A and B are shown apart, each in its own frame.
Chain A
């Protein structure tokens, strides 16, 4: 993979929130790169730092309570250090963002057309007439029937799926190179989810944009992503092309996640769950393997002291060595190697 293809490179990113004068890193040393024409999925449980990663990229955090360290390289500039007004030229213009809940992500007092048009006013030199046509074109592009009528309507007059299409139209209005989609289908019902994912893939084919897809839904990942990064407690613990990850998951956490997907024809009626909970930001142990507490039947000495990512096959990275000795509690122990 040559470097020219790389759209966005994140190096050792730490994003910490201030709680009583101490900063606690919710994103704790993440390195990632997003390429052109690629859908990179970032997967993890609630609270693992995946949304924080997304908002860190375009600086959508409260600057008084957040500390960002590390590099977010885009077109030769470090977005983490960029001033607000320069960052405004990246937001919307170069990087579009799609949010989780389409019910609340649109301004209830503003017409759909106006909300899509807003970005165009600041990032393009279009005339009013051109902007209006572009809005209609965008609505058509995201598959909204009768765009003239919808453009004049208010968000509450549209269904959830339609609203999410409008959000997508806003995100792609200025033809960004990168789209960050933060759980774009979580708030939608299953049939609409599939439509929205298809739309995202279609738009990516048309525009060649790189998509960073934040999700906790492995079904969504299998359907859309090219590459997957699994996050746990602020760190990436496994990264691989999507086929490799599903065919050959390595890290205990990844395996547990896949194991907990309910199977329709499974004889075992009990739902597989992962023991314990994601540790809270304040209590998170910052040394050793962060997943160790949730697999207590695995002997402590198989974990690395300072777990790092190891390349187990080309493009497949796994953190810590414990995966070599991992087995589910119900299985018999044995060395994988």
Chain B
């Protein structure tokens, strides 16, 4: 199995190289330069030109690329044009916020979707199955921002059960139990909203898989052994049906790490999605470049994670 993982990691290197090259070239096509934001009517054009030369603006593109990628490797993506702080600092805080939200969302998603999908598949065509399918289609039809706003309005404002924005209550000191609880409390409603919306895919997938597995030959073999039907489900049908879900797990997690623009904007949660929208609106190129590079990396990481998970759960994929 280690062989499989190492092989996959090695494959990632050329992928990352091509990705970074593409991002760099696209960034070069964008108008403006790091000094555009500093220009005022009083600025001497000669001074700007001098700064440009000093910053390497007229170096050949490959020299610039090597400088950029070299710095990026050390976590230096330059400074944000609008916030005037290092991009890495800017992303760092947001990334942590998004990470917690992503983990809780994923956890809740599978907590809700797996039992529903398995039950619907097992009791196919029953009232329970029909209700679950009905629920999943209703949820599928609701746009994110609608459910987000409804939840925010009812549970946040009307009932006051949940905080309506931010990541933590300012009255707590960092590191205390109350602080951690407050953080958790703030991500709960956005996480539930996300999880509910994402359940449809998992439920439908799992339901179909369970129904397919039921008619598999190995399930008939299991039944012919005379083991209780519940065991046939837990040991044979359930495990095998989870394979495609496991395959998506990596993508789901890293996809969430990119941040959900709708969820974060509606719940006023400062995460990666919000940062991305802000930087695009503010033409904050250094942040955009860094974020696109990061999202691309996360996508690759997601497929790596999925492959690793698959090689753990499916013995047929391992390279011996």
Contacts and interface: CB of A to CB of B under 8 A. Distances in A.
Contacts of A119: 225-227
Contacts of B28: none
Contact of B225 (A85, A104, A170): A170
Interface string B223-243: 111111101000110011001
Given A58-B224, A88-B228, A109 B239 contact: yes
A84 B227 CA distance: 10
A107 B218 contact: yes
B224 A108 contact: no
A92 B227 contact: yes
A154 B315 contact: yes
Interface in B282-320: 313-316
B222 A107 contact: yes
A262 to B, nearest CB: 30
Interface stretch (A36-44, A93-101, A286-294): A93-101
Interface in A68-93: 84-85, 87-93
Interface string B83-126: 00000000000000000000000000000000000000000000
Contacts of B315: 108-109, 154, 156
B217 interface: yes
A167 B221 contact: yes
Most B CB contacts (10 A, CB to CB) among A118, A119, A154 go to A118
Interface string B202-234: 000000000000001110111111111101000
Contact of B226 (A92, A104, A107, A109): A92
Interface string B16-47: 00000000000000000000000000000000
Task: Please classify how large the interface on chain B is, using the bins under 10, 10 to 19, 20 to 34, 35 or more.
Answer: 20 to 34
Given A91-B223, A154-B316, A156-B315, A105 B218 contact: yes
A92 B240 contact: no
A97 B150 CA distance: 56
Nearest to A93: B226
A122 B226 contact: yes
A233 interface: no
Nearest to A119: B225
Nearest to A180: B224
Interface of B: 216-218, 220-229, 231, 235-236, 239-240, 243, 313-316
Given A91-B224, A99-B224, 13 more contacts: A60-B223, A85-B228, A87-B226, A88-B228, A92-B227, A96-B224, A105-B220, A105-B221, A106-B218, A107-B218, A108-B316, A119-B227, A121-B227
17 contacts: A60-B220, A85-B228, A91-B223, A91-B224, A92-B226, A101-B217, A104-B218, A106-B218, A107-B218, A108-B240, A108-B316, A109-B315, A119-B225, A122-B228, A154-B315, A154-B316, A167-B221
